[in-house]
Every structure is written in structure tokens, then in C-alpha cells.
A and B are shown apart, each in its own frame.
Chain A
Amino acid sequence: MLKSKTFVKKTRAGGVMKVVREHYLRDDIWCGSEVCTECKDGAPVLQQDARVESDLCAYPHYLIPDTNVVLHQIDILEDPLIRNVIILQTVLQEVRHRSPPVYKRIKDATHEKEKHFYTFTNEHHRQTFIEREQGESINDRNDRAIRVAAKWYTEHLNKAPSVGELKVVLLTNDRANRDKAEQNGLLAYRCEEYIKSLTGNPELVDRLALTSDDQNEITGSKLLFPEHLPLSRIQAGIKSGTFLQGTFRASRDNYLEATVFVQREGDDSTEVLLQGLQNLNRAVHQDVVAVELFPKEQWVAPSSVVLQDDRPSDKETEEEEAEKKVSKSSRLLKPTGRVVGIIKRNWRPFCGMLNQSQIKEATRHLFTPADRRIPRIRIETRQASTLVGQRIIVAIDGWPRNSRYPNGHFVRNLGGAGDKDTETEVLLLEHDVPHQPFSQAVLSFLPKMPWGITEEDLKVRADLRHLCVCSVDPPGCTDIDDALHCRELENGNLEVGVHIADVSHFIRPGNALDQEAASRGTTVYLCGKRIDMVPELLSSNLCSLRSNVERLAFSCIWEMNHKAEILNTRFTKSIINSKASLTYAEAQMRIDDASMNDDITKSLRGLNTLAKILKGQRIAKGALTLSSPEVRFHMDSETHDPIDLQTKELKDTNSMVEEFMLLANISVAQKIYEEFSECALLRKHPAPPPSNYDILIKAAKSRELEIRIDSAKALADSLNEAVLEDFPYFNTLLRILATRCMMQAVYFCSGMDSDFHHYGLASPIYTHFTSPIRRYSDIIVHRLLAVAINADSTYPDLMDKHKQSSLCNNLNYRHKMAQYAQRASVAFHTQLFFKNKGILNEEGFILFVRKNAIIILIPKFGLEGTVFFENNDKPGPRLNFDSEGPTLTVEDQHTFHIFDRVKVTISLDASNIQHQKIRMALVEPVAPFFQIPGVSVALPEPEPEAKKLKLDR
């Protein structure tokens, strides 16, 4: 039977459009119950014996939750105890519309066999479909649809012969809906009522989301926050320009400060500063908010105070309201405003730890998220004593106006804090890194083993097996995606080839494997762990260009003269057979060892010579050589605990490989842009705004040096000149600072942007081609190039610049998150290392001077830490901060400048298991005031502005 669904909607142009959709009703939708004999369901999902220990429903029953129950109590529904649930299509559609993450979770739950969740497509069932009536709101209509479906189930199951006591129970928190359901003769309960009746599992109550009824009892009635405006007012305000819309970003260092990043039309974007709890008005990091700008007189400068919300208990004191007012040095004033409303919450479940309430038997506790930008969350639990010391996940339910903290509920226990697996899980979750094992659907698209090169491949590919190709990688690398060769041609020129694993041969567009890789975006390298983007069979075997096996490759082959000028470029799909997989050190040894003269060594020497010329050319053009301290752990092979730590060293061969990868990337970028000017996937690195360099210029000035920033070339030259005779590490420190001034390099689609320049590499065009095993961007570039040289067919999404652009956004996000995860992993392992080492005295340099603290870098460990001069308990020493220097004078006795050499003791502060910290205390210069207990703190948390350019190119 055909029905049409009609609705009217407003178009973007301001018109009104009538939309008509056809809607088919069917008779063959089964109820999914084992009891039923009428429906011809082959494998019914809902069990006959659907019994749960409950003093409310002692009989076996099926649950039908309404939309709000699914939305708010998804954590409960996911519990293995809750089984035999009927999810109505009406509910599913509403959930999908209102919260995609919850939708995904409920879908996942329905896919689990043990859960016995059944999706009933009531909207397409002839007897349960209802049309909206005159004067009925859409919500009322959906509630009615749910009731009609529940009613249908009740009657339908009653017809079955073996029904027994089986009943259908509707779960709804809406009183009107429940009353109406009861009038219709249905069983309906509130969700809390039902969960509390589950006598077998009292701990489930903890995971109930707090609904508005309960909030009143929790906090005093004093209103702490101004009201949020309704969405309609916000939208009108944004349209008229009184409000600005942007993403809320809480400050990492100061919980009373945040910025809102406002993206306006065009490229014009601004940052609005927010200060004080009232003005932050319950916004949480990453929410989309509407802000109102203050008049110019009220603008303030961002404070350089480091403030943590560390008060031990739940006391609602107002001390923080006495905000540390910042001296109004007018130069630094930023647009300041306040949050007037929330457009979209971006809450996700947060990892963290429980602060147990000091009152015994209390059930309300504060939860401290691992991410410092997230406020503490109040949760209710009866198992606090078991959860202390564990890493747990908590979800926020809401933030009422009268509560200092948001309310939330316990979701899951990850395991003991400090435990390596738990911590790794935490940092993967916190950085939104997809790390589940690959699903069967994904694995089904892998090539069948044993795999070999076929006749077909030989026909369409260049056979380069005779070439003396070799790969050079870090030690222990199993996903080798690049290999090189170099040989002299008869005409005296050199032929140089870069051979990249042909991953796009194995991953075909659009299949589950491709989608999974696109969603993961990148392989994430943690200390001692790798989260692959593609399944291991590909990453470590079929695509890995290991030595002495035949592998498919995508080759970029240049003919060059001895001055490294490119005479001719050729791209081809090929078959190679690598002759050797070398490490950087091995390759370096071969080059240096004059006694070796085999083909591989000759090839390497040729490459090395060319690479040096290329690098020279690149630097002459203004490419930057930046630096960031990178550390490498020596792992104990048994326990995988770090036993030693050293900063990475760079050898000639590192830069040799890098140089050819850059060249290949640039050549490919040119080629694909030439062929597909609208949809080439490229990578750009925008020039930073001059204000970013302030800190660098100030720092150099403190040593009477000048940094010129008018161009990349000028910057590179002035960095090269900035050398102090008596301070060899100074240049490196400057380069570390310069790295922090840079913008993030990003992928983009050529049709959506006009600025292609790569600032760091001083190249007008750039892309990523050389690591398709670990980056999805490279797979797309491979596909584009393959189409360009007629080696492969195209597909619609590849040529759609909007699809391409949204893919780029995901890749950029994943890359950023992967970097953060990586740094967090290093930080955690640093902690482990110091835990085993005990107390150490080390030399370090002051990297930044803040208002109440200095940030110190220990080059030996690449470790960054903060030394505070203020303390919550005791009055701190008199501090004098000069933002021009910047310098910090303590008690008029000692002035700290940027780059000062200091000595600190480093130890692990494990006294507080909840937050293990690396403690840094000053040893030199010695002064009585430095001995304040607790001048400590801080892991080198990933700083957003710190970029690892080396890895990131």
C-alpha cells in the first residue's frame, strides 16, 4: 500500500517548498519474537524467556523505550543485563536526528547477538503506521506512534499460543505519554522506576543519567549562571550580527579562560576571549556557542596566569570569582565577550578519575577528566570506593544554572590508573583514535592468501625487478612504504626512482576496507604500539616493500643530470624487487665505508650526493629547518617498560630519504594539479601571521639578536645567523620556539582554495604521495595520479570537490589527534621512565616565562615542565612580571629570563595516584623561596601549537 508523506519546508532562499515522499506500507514485517507463530521470521531475535530479576516486572517482558529514554539512558541500555528490547523505527529516526553518536551506539547494540535488541520498522508496518492528525505536534504524533506500536505488540503476542506471562513494557519518562499509555491498557514505567526495581543489579542505578527532576535536590537553588537564550533568539542575533557563532575552546592552563574561534564568511576569522565562570556560562570545550562582544572599554588581555581548578572538595566557594585581574596593557587587548547561548553541545564520554567525596557514605562525587579543558563533573555512584584509583568514563547529562559543575553519570571502568594498557586506552579514547580491531566486513576485502603477482599485473605494469632498489627506514620498521634506486644512464645522466607501495591496488574505492581507512585517516604510532590504518596483512606484508620479495609499486622516475636538475619525469605502476631493507645507520655505514662498492652502495652514494644538492637548492629558496625535541625510548623487551630515553639523532641518510620523498611529493602534486585543477588533494602550510613571531623576536632580542620574519627565506637566514659562541644549544632553542610559531600544515582540495603555498618547504605546491600505508591522503593522491596516467579508472567521489573537501577535514582532524595521542603516549612513558629512575638532577633551559611560573625544557629528555612560584596554601613570593622581556623577578632577588640555564631535580610525584606528575624543582639558582613544597607539576602535555614538522611534512 502506498502512502505519501507530505511536509512543507523553508528553502534557503527564503521560499517555501512542499516536499512529498512516497511511503510504502507492508504486511510482511515480523514482530521478531520467538513466541510468535504468526510471523514467518526465520531467526527471531527476542527470546521467549525474557526474564530479568525485577520486583516491578516479575514476569518475562520486552522493553520498548521511547526516544528520550534511548537518548539519555543509552549507557543503561548498553549494559549486558538489559536484553530483549524493541527499538521502534520512530525512536531510531528521532535519535538519529537528535544525536548521531547515540544513534551509532544503539545501532551497535542492536547488532550484538547477546543483547537481543530488535528493530521494529513500525513506520512501514500497515497496522502501526499512523498519519499525523490535524492539530497534532510532531512529538505527539511520534509518542502516539510508539503507543500504537506497543499496543500492537501486546495484542499481537497475546494471539500466540505459548505466550505465557510475556508482556510488553513501555519505558517513558514523559508523564502525559505514560498516562495515555495506561489508558490504552499498556504497561508503562518511568526508566528510573524500572532500573531501580532490578534487584539483581543495583550498580546499574549509578549509570542512570540524571534527569531534571533530580537536579533540584543536588544543588542549592542559588543561580550561578545567566540563562541561555533560546535558539530562535540566537539565530536572529547571529543573523543581525549582535552575536557571533563559534567553537568554544577552553584554555588548557587557566580554567577561567577560554576563546571562541569565530569563522566568518570568507577567510576572515577572529578569536573572542572569554574570562570568568559567568561569562563562560557553562560552555564546555568544543561546544558551538553564541557569544556577545563587550564594548571595547571592557576588553581585556589574556592572562598569563596558570590556574587549575584543584580544590579538593565539592565546596561551592566563590574564591575563584575574585579573578586575577590582568593589568590592562592595551596592546594585548583582545575582543572579549560572554557566552549567551549554546548552539550545539559537543559532549562525548570523558575519561578521567574520581575524586572521592570526603564525607563517608556520600554518593555524590566529583570526577576530574583527563583533559584539563573539561570541567569537573559531578556524578552519583554507590561504588566510589571501588572506583577510586581507576580510570573511568563519565558522560555529561546536563548543566543546570544553579550548579557549579555539570552533572553526569558513570559509564565504564577502564582499569587501574597508571596501568600501561589502561593509560593507552585512555589516551586513544581521549584523542578519538579509532582503535577497535578491524571488523569482518573490512577484512573480507583483503586479498586472498597466498598472494602472488599475476600475468595480468605483468601486462599492465612496468617490470622494474631488475633495478637495484633498496629501502632505508628507522630500525624495526615493518610498514615500508618507500624504496629508492639510482643508476647511471648511458647518456651520462642519472636515473633516480622513488617506488611507493601500491596500496590503492589493494584498497578499492568505496568498499568497507576503503571506508574504514578513510575514517581512520592515518596510522597512529605510540610508544611500543602502532594503531594501523589498514589491516596488518597489507601494512606489514603485501604493501610493505620488504627486501627480496616481489611487490607492486607506484614509481616516480626522474632523469637528472649531475647538478640534480630534473630533465624528465615519469610516473608508472610497476613491479619491484627490493634488494635490501636498510636502517638509516646501515645505509650511512655503507656510504661511509670506502671498501664497499656493490650496486646498492653505489646507488646509495649517488642518491646521497643528489640529495645534498637538492637540499642546498631548497634551503636557498627559503625552506626552514626547524627543530623540536624528539625522544626515543629504549624498551625492555620483556616488560615493555622504558629503560632508557634519548633524543633522536638525525643522520645524513635521514635527510637523503626525506629529500627524495619531498621531490616525489612535489612532482606528483604538479602532475595531479595539472590534470585535475578542481579536485587535486594537496597539502599547504600557510605563512603564520607576523604576530605569531612576537615571542621569537622577543626571545632573540634578549640576546641582542635580530630575527627577520618578512619571508621564509629571511627567517631561515636569520635563524642560521643566530648563533651564540658560548651557548651552543641556543640555536636549537630558537628553532624550537620558531616551530611553535608555525601554523598547522593542512590537506585541502585544490578546487576549494586558492593559496597552495607550503611555507615550511618553500614550495609553491605540495602533496603527500609517499606513505600510502600509513596515510589515507596518499591513497587518494595515488588514485588521482593513476587516473592521470590512465592506469586506473576514476569514480564519482574522487572528482567531487565537496566530498574531497570534507574528506580533507577528516584527515586533518585525524592527523592532529594522532599527533596529540603520540605526544601523550611519550609523556606517559616519560613518567614511567622517571618512576623507575628515581630522582634526577638535570640541566635545563627556560623556554617560556609566565606570570607566575616558568616553563623549563630539559634537552636531554626532550621534557618540558612548569615550575610554579605560587601555591594555593601559602602566600607565594613576591613576583614581578614584565611582559616585554618577558622576565619574571622573584622577591627582587632573582630575575628569570627566557633561555636562562637552570638546574632542576626531576622526580615522579606518585603520592597522588590520581594524577601522577613529574615534579620539577629548581636547584640552581638556589634561593630560600624555591624550596616551597609543591613547586611542581605538569607533564609536557601536548601543546596545540607545538608542531613536529619533521614528521608532519
Chain B
Amino acid sequence: MATVQVSEAEKVYVMHGVRDDLRVDGRGCEDYRHMEIETDVVSNTDGSAKVSLGHTDILVGIKAEIGKPRPMVPDEGYLEFFVDCSANATPEFEGRGGEELGVELSNTLYKVFNNRHSLDLRSLCICPGEHCWVLYVDVLLLQCDGNLFDAMSIAIKAALFNTRIPKVHISEDEEGVKEIELSDDPYDCMRLNVENVPCIVTLCKIAHRHVVDATLQEKACSVASLLISVTHKGMVTCVRKLGRGSLDPDSIFEMTETGKRVGKALHAPLMELLQKEESLGKKRQKVGFLA
């Protein structure tokens, strides 16, 4: 991942700032940077969103395809994640350079969504045991400026909110041969309930305190971070520790509490924003990538 070189003096400066709840860019320890969200940016996906957090830029596209349900859960659909680290983000990703990070990110996403609460997978079932919707969630890193996880989870939530899956129904003829029929009205589609989709809050331990939404510079001053995925009700679906350093139990507990608080606070304005954007309908001027 993109890293910056930080001198000892800078480190001390950053750490002292955090201690006083005043970070280099003027934020408090629990503040996010300026965030921009736009949905429906890629027309040939079923749902898409672009999120920029500071200079971190992430595009998420969701494609719905018909597949076979997993044998253990015949009445559920499933999600597939793929994270592509574009060489646009940083030259280090060139060739296969981004692969390791991409796998790590997508594995984390599998863990975050690996529970019954975040998304109603049953609604993705078309015909138990035979057909279900598979949502391919493709994440593209366009620019890295720290805190990829949080930005990614917000973009995924926004993209899932934006996803419209064409309505299908199964017709059966006399011989019992089932056939999928598609409505010819493009407006006839299914929406997903994204209320419980978690957001990831990454907390970065700097000296004795922890900060959310760490910049690259701040990250360089920290030895370990804690990743918490939180639903809007404050339920934690996944916790991971990142980085080489260790965390003592007390501070883990403290960080979890902060994560829950920040996460809950993050969901409400996000949903509000998404609803507001949708209510603009077709009149909304699309910004896209030219912003």
C-alpha cells in the first residue's frame, strides 16, 4: 500500500496533536474527512457508487447475475467480492503489485458480510435450490489516501442501495419444465434493503489515543489499527486487528466502543444523503469522474 516517509520530528508532532485532540488537518480524533458520494455512475452495472474520502477514491459496481444457490443454503443468494487495485492509484500496484492488497481487502469484505443480519440473502433467491441472484461486488481503487476500508464499505453500501435487480418470475408448463421469464419493462425491478448493511470503521492507535479515518501520515505513526464493522444499530459484525503492533485488551475495548459510536453516527447521514439523491430522480446532474 501507498506509504509515506515520516521523520521522527513529524511523528512526535502528529502524536502530540492527537493527544490534544487536534490533528494535523484540524480534525478531532473521531472526525472523518470531507466525503463525497455519488450513485448510479456506471450505467452498465445494476448498481454503482463512487466515494471519495479525502483523496481516497473508490468506485464500486454491482452486477447481478443468475446463478445456482450454494448447496448448504438453497434458499439464499450470495455475494462475491473482488477488489481491483488500479495502477492509477499508485505505481506500486502495477502488474500484479496490487494483488495481495486486493485479496486482503476482499477477504475482509467476505468476513464483514458473512452473517445473516447485514443483507437479506433470502430476497436474492429466485427458485430454491435452482436459481438465485449472485451479486458480484467489484471494488476499484482509483486513488489511495488512507482509510481504504471505511471508504470501501461506504461505497458498497451506497452501491447496494442503488442496485436494481430486474424482476423475474418462474413459469412452469405442464411438464413441469421451469423457465425464467423476464419482464420487458426496465422499470420493473427489485430493490435491496440496505438498512442493516454494516460500515467499517477503522481505528488507528496513535500513542495512547486512537483516531478514525487516519491519513497516510497518521498511519505511519501508528503500529496497529482495529477494524470494526458496525450496523446502524451499533451491532458489530466483524472485528480485525491490522498492523504489526499489538493492542492491549483495555484499549481494544475502548476502541470498540468508539467504533460503535462513530459507526452509528455514520449510518444516519449516509442513508439520508442517499435518499435525498434518489429523490432528485432524473433531474439530477451527474458528476461522474469529471468532478
A18 touches B (CB below 8 Å): yes
When the two chains form their complex, are residues B175 and A18 in contact, meaning their CB atoms are under 8 A apart?
no
Per-residue contact bits, chain B 49-76, to A (CB 8 Å; 1 contact, 0 not): 0000000000000011110000000000
When the two chains form their complex, are residues B180 and A138 in contact, meaning their CB atoms are under 8 A apart?
no
- Once A10-B180, A236-B179, A240-B177 are accepted as A-B contacts, the answer to whether A16 and B186 lie under 8 Å apart by CB is no
B44 contacts across to A, CB distance below 8 A: 18-20
When the two chains form their complex, are residues B43 and A138 in contact, meaning their CB atoms are under 8 A apart?
no
A239 touches B (CB below 8 Å): yes
When the two chains form their complex, are residues A6 and B43 in contact, meaning their CB atoms are under 8 A apart?
yes
18 more A-B residue pairs beyond the given contacts A134-B185, A137-B185, A240-B175, with a C-beta to C-beta distance below 8 A: A6-B43, A6-B186, A8-B166, A8-B186, A10-B182, A14-B66, A15-B65, A16-B182, A18-B45, A132-B186, A134-B187, A135-B185, A135-B187, A136-B185, A236-B173, A236-B177, A239-B177, A240-B173
The distance from the CB of B40 to the nearest CB of chain A, in whole angstroms, is 11
B177 contacts across to A, CB distance below 8 A: 236, 239-240
Complex alpha-carbon distance, A363 and B17, angstroms: 101
- Once A240-B173, A240-B175 are accepted as A-B contacts, the answer to whether A9 and B182 lie under 8 Å apart by CB is yes
A137 contacts across to B, CB distance below 8 A: 184-185
The residues in A between 396 and 421 inclusive whose CB is less than 8 angstroms from any CB of B are none
A451 contacts across to B, CB distance below 8 A: none
Per-residue contact bits, chain A 18-31, to B (CB 8 Å; 1 contact, 0 not): 11100000000000
Contact of B43 among A4, A134, A136, A236 (CB under 8 A): A4
A727 touches B (CB below 8 Å): no
B84 touches A (CB below 8 Å): no
Complex alpha-carbon distance, A7 and B174, angstroms: 30
- Once A8-B182, A8-B186, A132-B186 are accepted as A-B contacts, the answer to whether A20 and B65 lie under 8 Å apart by CB is no
The distance from the CB of A5 to the nearest CB of chain B, in whole angstroms, is 9
The residues in B between 182 and 225 inclusive whose CB is less than 8 angstroms from any CB of A are 182, 184-187
Complex alpha-carbon distance, A6 and B186, angstroms: 8
The distance from the CB of A798 to the nearest CB of chain B, in whole angstroms, is 34
Most buried by A among B43, B45, B63, B168: B43
When the two chains form their complex, are residues B43 and A20 in contact, meaning their CB atoms are under 8 A apart?
yes
B166 contacts across to A, CB distance below 8 A: 8, 16, 18
Complex alpha-carbon distance, A242 and B66, angstroms: 28
Most buried by A among B64, B173, B177: B173
- Once A240-B173, A240-B175 are accepted as A-B contacts, the answer to whether A14 and B180 lie under 8 Å apart by CB is yes
B65 contacts across to A, CB distance below 8 A: 15-16
Complex alpha-carbon distance, A319 and B64, angstroms: 61
Residue of B nearest to A15 (CB): B66
When the two chains form their complex, are residues A138 and B46 in contact, meaning their CB atoms are under 8 A apart?
no
When the two chains form their complex, are residues B184 and A138 in contact, meaning their CB atoms are under 8 A apart?
yes
When the two chains form their complex, are residues A18 and B46 in contact, meaning their CB atoms are under 8 A apart?
yes
Residue of A nearest to B64 (CB): A16
A133 contacts across to B, CB distance below 8 A: 187
The residues in A between 194 and 249 inclusive whose CB is less than 8 angstroms from any CB of B are 236, 239-240, 242
Residue of A nearest to B180 (CB): A14
Interchain Cβ contacts under 8 Å between A and B, 22 examples: A4-B43, A7-B186, A8-B166, A8-B182, A14-B180, A15-B65, A16-B64, A16-B66, A18-B45, A18-B46, A18-B166, A19-B44, A20-B43, A132-B187, A134-B187, A138-B184, A236-B173, A236-B177, A236-B179, A239-B177, A240-B175, A240-B177
Complex alpha-carbon distance, A137 and B43, angstroms: 22
B180 contacts across to A, CB distance below 8 A: 10, 14, 16
A14 contacts across to B, CB distance below 8 A: 66, 180
- How many chain B residues touch the partner (CB < 8 A)? 21
User: Which residue numbers of B lie inside 8 Å of A, CB to CB?
Assistant: 43-46, 63-66, 166, 168, 173-175, 177, 179-180, 182, 184-187
Per-residue contact bits, chain A 129-172, to B (CB 8 Å; 1 contact, 0 not): 00011111110000000000000000000000000000000000
Residue of A nearest to B172 (CB): A236
How many A-B contacts at CB < 8 Å in the complex?
49
The distance from the CB of A209 to the nearest CB of chain B, in whole angstroms, is 28
The residues in A between 14 and 72 inclusive whose CB is less than 8 angstroms from any CB of B are 14-16, 18-20
Complex alpha-carbon distance, A239 and B173, angstroms: 11
The distance from the CB of B100 to the nearest CB of chain A, in whole angstroms, is 32
The 4 closest A-B pairs by CB, nearest first: A134-B187, A20-B44, A236-B173, A8-B166
Complex alpha-carbon distance, A127 and B65, angstroms: 36
Complex alpha-carbon distance, A4 and B282, angstroms: 12
The residues in A between 443 and 467 inclusive whose CB is less than 8 angstroms from any CB of B are none
The distance from the CB of A3 to the nearest CB of chain B, in whole angstroms, is 10
Complex alpha-carbon distance, A635 and B64, angstroms: 73
Most buried by B among A10, A14, A133, A138: A10
Residue of B nearest to A237 (CB): B173
Complex alpha-carbon distance, A18 and B179, angstroms: 19
The distance from the CB of A446 to the nearest CB of chain B, in whole angstroms, is 46
A136 contacts across to B, CB distance below 8 A: 185
Residue of A nearest to B131 (CB): A14
B187 contacts across to A, CB distance below 8 A: 132-135
A9 contacts across to B, CB distance below 8 A: 182
The distance from the CB of A66 to the nearest CB of chain B, in whole angstroms, is 20
The distance from the CB of A115 to the nearest CB of chain B, in whole angstroms, is 35
Complex alpha-carbon distance, A332 and B168, angstroms: 49
B186 contacts across to A, CB distance below 8 A: 6-8, 132
Most buried by B among A14, A19, A20, A236: A236
B184 contacts across to A, CB distance below 8 A: 137-138
The distance from the CB of A11 to the nearest CB of chain B, in whole angstroms, is 9
The distance from the CB of A445 to the nearest CB of chain B, in whole angstroms, is 41
When the two chains form their complex, are residues B179 and A16 in contact, meaning their CB atoms are under 8 A apart?
no
B173 contacts across to A, CB distance below 8 A: 236, 240
Residue of A nearest to B177 (CB): A240
Residue of A nearest to B179 (CB): A236
Residue of B nearest to A22 (CB): B43
The distance from the CB of A238 to the nearest CB of chain B, in whole angstroms, is 11
Complex alpha-carbon distance, A332 and B42, angstroms: 64
Complex alpha-carbon distance, A136 and B186, angstroms: 10
Complex alpha-carbon distance, A135 and B186, angstroms: 9
The distance from the CB of B253 to the nearest CB of chain A, in whole angstroms, is 46
The distance from the CB of B227 to the nearest CB of chain A, in whole angstroms, is 33
Per-residue contact bits, chain A 271-295, to B (CB 8 Å; 1 contact, 0 not): 0000000000000000000000000
Complex alpha-carbon distance, A7 and B187, angstroms: 9
Residue of A nearest to B182 (CB): A10
Residue of B nearest to A240 (CB): B175
The distance from the CB of B174 to the nearest CB of chain A, in whole angstroms, is 8
Residue of A nearest to B42 (CB): A20
The distance from the CB of B153 to the nearest CB of chain A, in whole angstroms, is 25
Complex alpha-carbon distance, A637 and B185, angstroms: 68
A20 contacts across to B, CB distance below 8 A: 43-44
The distance from the CB of B283 to the nearest CB of chain A, in whole angstroms, is 13
Complex alpha-carbon distance, A14 and B132, angstroms: 12
Complex alpha-carbon distance, A36 and B177, angstroms: 59
A138 contacts across to B, CB distance below 8 A: 184
Residue of B nearest to A233 (CB): B173
Complex alpha-carbon distance, A10 and B131, angstroms: 14
The distance from the CB of B287 to the nearest CB of chain A, in whole angstroms, is 14
B64 contacts across to A, CB distance below 8 A: 16
The distance from the CB of A141 to the nearest CB of chain B, in whole angstroms, is 10
The distance from the CB of B65 to the nearest CB of chain A, in whole angstroms, is 6
B45 contacts across to A, CB distance below 8 A: 18
Complex alpha-carbon distance, A75 and B153, angstroms: 63
Complex alpha-carbon distance, A9 and B182, angstroms: 8
A18 contacts across to B, CB distance below 8 A: 44-46, 63, 166
The distance from the CB of B170 to the nearest CB of chain A, in whole angstroms, is 12
Residue of B nearest to A239 (CB): B177
The distance from the CB of B120 to the nearest CB of chain A, in whole angstroms, is 20
A7 contacts across to B, CB distance below 8 A: 186
Residue of B nearest to A138 (CB): B184
The distance from the CB of A143 to the nearest CB of chain B, in whole angstroms, is 16
The distance from the CB of B135 to the nearest CB of chain A, in whole angstroms, is 13
Per-residue contact bits, chain A 735-759, to B (CB 8 Å; 1 contact, 0 not): 0000000000000000000000000
Residue of B nearest to A13 (CB): B66
B168 contacts across to A, CB distance below 8 A: 16
